[in-house]
Amino acid sequence: MKALLQRVSEACVTVAGRKIANIDTGLLVLVGIEPQDNEQTAEKMLHKLLNYRVFADEQDRMNKSLTDIQGGLLLVSQFTLAADTRSGLRPGFSTAAAPAQAEALFEQMVVLAQQRHPHVQTGQFGADMQVQLTNDGPVTFMLEVQ
């Protein structure tokens, strides 16, 4: 599983002209699910997302996590993160999980997140989404778990 996390001062997702999710200070996370991913992988990734220290402490060092600051978590499924880009000029998607598997695992991850964190929003799986954000820093990290 891959996750591109971005520390944001605000972010929102719009589908067909209607805003379906928004957060203030927190993390916008694009999630790429691969065929070998399972509930255990989702658990590991969620633990990392909630506890990864990317927010400033009193000395302006990245020592606080999303849990520490009680910020918003906006999870957006993003199958293109799992693309094979090693050769050629067109991405291949055989390295991404099948839509049914990815949707089920993404939904499991969302439920787990909602059980563990008070401020969780999501995009809409499989939809044509417009994602807007103000990247704070900018701070962006690619996380991977197996």
Q: Is 78 a catalytic residue?
A: yes
Alpha-carbon gap, residue 97 to 8, rounded angstroms: 28
Three-point CA angle 16, 114, 138, nearest 5°: 65
How far the first Cα of the chain sits from its last, in Å, is 6
Q: What is the DSSP string of 33-71?
A: --TT--HHHHHHHHHHHHH---EE-TTSSEEE-HHHHT-
Q: Is 80 a catalytic residue?
A: yes
Q: Which of 41, 78, 121, 122 is catalytic?
A: 78
Q: Which of 36, 80, 132, 140 is catalytic?
A: 80
Q: Which of 41, 79, 121, 122 is catalytic?
A: 79
Known catalytic residues?
78-80
